[in-house]
A and B are shown apart, each in its own frame.
Chain A
């Protein structure tokens, strides 16, 4: 009996698979089915419309243009990764108040997204915190309508996103850096390597996998930005991202079919971009020797 059980993996796998199928694959399957229908989410009858929803997503500029807003967040994610990497490297060496700084950097990520939205809403108000700080350091004439001016609004929101997510990247990088054995640094120092050399030849290759993972997360993250613009501007003033638009389509206009098509398109875009990236940056084994 025991022997048979050991040979068959199903009894062990079944609970996990049931959960996975019930809560992941069936809903995704439903979504794909909805995307070929015109449905308001309530009616017992769904009208089949074939590919109409997809045609609308791609031909009506109001649907695909919101993808361009993602570019702001995509550019911001490079700044975010650079900042996180810089601090992770600096704080992985012996620095005074190291743990305090680690805490300060990671803290924003612990805050709830809604709270972040509200905090920054006050920060960006006319004569709010940001304007006061600028005046204090003599840059008062540079204050703007941070959210009201459409040229600046997306940059303000992307800045908020950097503030919030740098901590996550930072912790990932720090963990990866600390998994590199200390003797390698000692050996490098004996050979006369500077900090830059150490970064260039030990740290960077050592954390390559985490770096590439961060870029994948950055791409999918910037395509699916939702809560920061949703809470701070509600998508007004040209800050509507693809997901905010899909949310409005689904719940404000009750076009569940069309919104499902948008979600499927987003899924396919993220899958395609991830695949391209994996092809461009093959995932080699890392060897430090």
Chain B
């Protein structure tokens, strides 16, 4: 009898231990900036998603940092499946000293896991992209480099179709793709449907109206897929491209790695991506002995006030972990890596510091008359859009509903543009009324 009771006790103890292990503590942090006092010395661990750079560029930066700050030691931990693995690690409380903020962390949860680096007002005088991982006026992450959004194109193919300057309206853009289909053998537009994430690039075009309040206003709108609104213009263009048969024949078998040499050699004319893709496509061109100069970068075909506007945004933001035992060194590394390491220039990215020059690719882009715009994150409705996304399961920032859109457009699923946009409006509106009440 006694034995039986003690055995049940073991079960309860195990259960309690498991439950307790799942909850991380969260206290109050009232100061705008965390406590970074102390000597810059000792060892820190940095989590990174750049498995390709960890033994080359990154360790080179670490050596330079260690030389400037004697007594420090920077170790990298490369995580292949960054988003998923680090999300799991966050729950355990052990996630290094400096890390990139996984996108699964909602803005109102930032303070549970990361130390605040300073106030938005104070940091925005020096850095771009400070509000992208900020909450309540406090910044939790700095981007090591930013990208612009637009179309990666093969200039030679577009020129063969008679177009040498970026089209200014969606209609002109479609006409351009038609001309490519008519005059060349290239696939006018490549969706990258199978890999999925390239479809999310259609969500990064919010700057086209040049409206700095668009993201704050977004959750207040129950029908974002109405004519004239941002989702109607972007998703609508994708729909029209596929409907007109201007994309690849079987989207289910697309292949991202395979697409790079295809655009480099002119088998594909256009893909919607970010400026980060330009160096990759040029590398692919060099590898297959095509001309890297054929790869160019064009803005989304929409003008406000007679000008193109392209959204720029930071890549993953680097942050100091709340549980770090050596916050002083962690902060020193973060600041040094963002401003002095030269990482942004090496990656052809937009430097986070306002006073550093743009990389060559983007200088050519702005020379065509494009204004680069940061789209400020929502402040009064911070986090609401993410909540509506989860609630409605319309992954604005992902590919699932856009794959369905492509399926409908190519006649592989029931419906048409109007019926699908009406359905999206309905689902979004219903979720919005649950979230915003």
Chain A residues near B (Cβ < 8 Å): 8, 10, 14, 17-18, 21-22, 26, 29-30, 40-44, 62, 121, 124-126, 128, 145, 147-150, 153, 233-238, 248-249, 251-255
CB atoms of A10 and B104 under 8 A apart? no
A residues near B7, Cβ cutoff 8 Å = 10, 14, 17
Which residues of B are found within 8 Å of A30, using beta-carbon distances? 18-19
Contact B412 A254 (CB under 8 A): no
| B412 to chain A: closest residue by CB | A150
Expressed in whole angstroms, the Cα–Cα distance for A272 and B390 within the complex equals 31
Instruction: Give chain B nearest CB distance to A83 CB in angstroms.
Output: 27
Contact A252 B91 (CB under 8 A): no
| Given A26-B14, A30-B18, A30-B19, 7 further pairs, Cβ under 8 A | A26-B15, A40-B106, A42-B87, A42-B105, A153-B252, A236-B404, A237-B403
CB proximity of A153 to chain B, nearest CB, Å: 7
The residues of A that contact B193 with a CB separation of less than 8 Å are: 236
Chain B nearest Cβ from A41, distance in angstroms: 7
A29 proximity list for chain B (CB < 8 A): 15
Query: Which of A148, A249, A254 lies in contact with B104, CB distance below 8 A?
Result: A254
**Do A148 and B106 touch across chains, with their CB atoms under 8 A apart?**
no
Residue of A whose beta carbon sits closest to that of B404: A236
From A40, A234, A252, B194 is in contact (CB under 8 Å) with: A234
Q: What's the minimum C-beta distance from A215 to chain B, rounded to whole angstroms?
A: 32
Q: A18-B14, A42-B105 are in contact. Are A147 and B84 (CB under 8 A)?
A: no
Once the chains are docked, how many angstroms separate the CA of A201 from the CA of B15? 53
B395 to A, closest residue via Cβ: A252
Asked whether A252 and B400 contact (CB < 8 A) given A147-B252, A150-B407, the answer is yes
- Could you tell me the distance in whole angstroms from the C-beta of A277 to the nearest C-beta in chain B? 32
Contact with A along B386-398 (1 / 0, CB 8 A): 0001100101001
Q: Are B253 and A124 in contact (CB under 8 A)?
A: yes
Within the complex, the shortest CB–CB distance from A150 to chain B, in Å, comes to: 5
Q: Given the interface contacts A145-B252, A237-B403, A249-B393, does A18 sit within 8 Å of B10 by beta carbon?
A: yes
Selected contact of A44 from candidates B10, B112, B252, B404, CB within 8 Å: B112
Query: CB-CB < 8 A to B109: which residues of A?
Result: 42-43
Contacts of A17 in B (CB 8 A): 7
Report chain A residues within 8 Å CB of B393: 62, 248-249, 253, 255
- Nearest 6 Cβ contacts at the A-B interface: A147-B252, A148-B250, A236-B403, A148-B252, A125-B253, A253-B390
Quote the shortest CB–CB distance from A255 to chain B (angstroms).
6
Question: Judging by beta carbons under 8 Å apart, are A44 and B23 in contact?
Answer: yes
Hey, which chain B residues are within 8 Å of A147, CB to CB? 250, 252-253
Contacts of B305 in A (CB 8 A): none
Is A253 a contact of B395 with CB atoms below 8 Å? yes
Nearest CB of chain A from residue B369's CB, rounded to whole Å: 37
**Which residues from chain B contact A21 at a C-beta distance below 8 Å?**
11, 14
* Chain B residue contacts of A41, Cβ below 8 A: 87, 91, 104
Question: CA–CA, A148 to B409, complex, Å?
Answer: 13
Pick from B14, B90, B413: contact of A150, CB under 8 Å: B413
Central interface residue in B105, B196, B252, B410, by most chain A CB within 10 Å? B252
Q: A125-B250, A145-B250, A237-B412 are in contact. Are A42 and B104 (CB under 8 A)?
A: yes
Give me the interface of B with A, judged by CB distance under 8 Å: 3, 7, 10-11, 14-15, 18-19, 23-26, 84, 87, 90-91, 104-106, 109, 112, 193-194, 196, 249-253, 389-390, 393, 395, 398, 400, 403-404, 407, 410, 412-413
In the bound complex, how far is the Cα of B410 from the Cα of A150, in angstroms? 11
Q: Which of A10, A121, A148 contacts B3 (CB 8 A)?
A: A10
Q: Is B390 a contact of A42 with CB atoms below 8 Å?
A: no
8 residue pairs from A and B, CB less than 8 Å apart = A42-B105, A125-B250, A147-B250, A148-B412, A150-B407, A234-B196, A234-B403, A248-B393
Residues of A within 8 A of B3 (CB): 8, 10
What B residues does A235 contact at CB under 8 A? 400
- B389 lies within 8 A of A253 (CB): yes
Q: Judge whether B413 and A248 touch: CB under 8 Å.
A: no
CB distance from A141 to the nearest CB of B (A): 17
Whether A126 lies near B250 (C-beta < 8 A) is: yes
**Minimum CB–CB distance for A267 against chain B, Å:** 19
A163 to chain B, nearest CB (A): 18
Contact in complex: B407, A254 (CB < 8 Å)? no
Kindly provide the distance from the CB of A38 to the nearest chain B CB, expressed in whole angstroms. 9
CB distance from A42 to the nearest CB of B (A): 6
**Docked pose: A236 CA to B11 CA in angstroms:** 43
Give the distance in Å from the alpha carbon of A150 to the alpha carbon of B413 in the complex: 7
A42 to B15, CA, bound (A): 19
Residues from chain B with a CB closer than 8 A to the CB of A62 are: 393
Interface centre among A44, A128, A251 (most CB of B within 10 A): A44
Cα separation A148 to B91 with both chains bound (whole Å): 40
Q: Kindly provide the distance from the CB of A28 to the nearest chain B CB, expressed in whole angstroms.
A: 12
Report the Cα distance A62→B424, complex, angstroms.
13
A184→B376 CA distance, assembly (Å) = 82
When distances are taken between beta carbons in the complex, the residues of chain A under 8 Å from B410 are: 148
Q: Give the nearest-CB partner of B83 in chain A.
A: A251
